[in-house]
Amino acid sequence: MQGMGEVVVPPDQSGIWALISGDKKAPTLPGMDQDGETIARWIKKNIKTDTVVVVRHAQRNMVEFSLDRVISINFQIERLSLENHGTFRFDGSSTVGPKGALTMLAPLAGVMEAALGGQAWINGRLAYRRPLPPIELALARRLADSDPDVPAVA
């Protein structure tokens, strides 16, 4: 432990999440295993217009997931546009707004479940489920109709 006057600060082994949530280790949120290379590889292999993707919204200590649809792709400059969330680079980063506020993710099992369930995390813990807006409900129903492994959405 380091002494800072009268305040004693333990060495931070697990990062900022320990400070925010009081946990000893960082939480495992859906999509944390997806980095820029992983997302770019998935895009180059699978992307086409009308593909449903997941967008992660991060603001301070809150993280939410939502569904969106690819409306255009430019392989020359490695950018794609989503219907509701704007333009993203192939590494998943948004071209506008604060860095890391919006990240496009490959629609793999964990993030897909989080988006379909309207899940949101605060301080690294599942906090609430938001109702899906009509646009996302339509995308979820389309997914359920085309893929029997997609969980049902009310």
**Which pTM was predicted?**
0.76
pLDDT at 151: 47
Kind plus residue range of the DSSP H or E element containing 45:
helix 36-46
pLDDT at 49: 92
pLDDT in tens, 116-141: 999 999 988 889 999 999 999 999 88
How many whole angstroms separate alpha carbon 117 and alpha carbon 125? 15
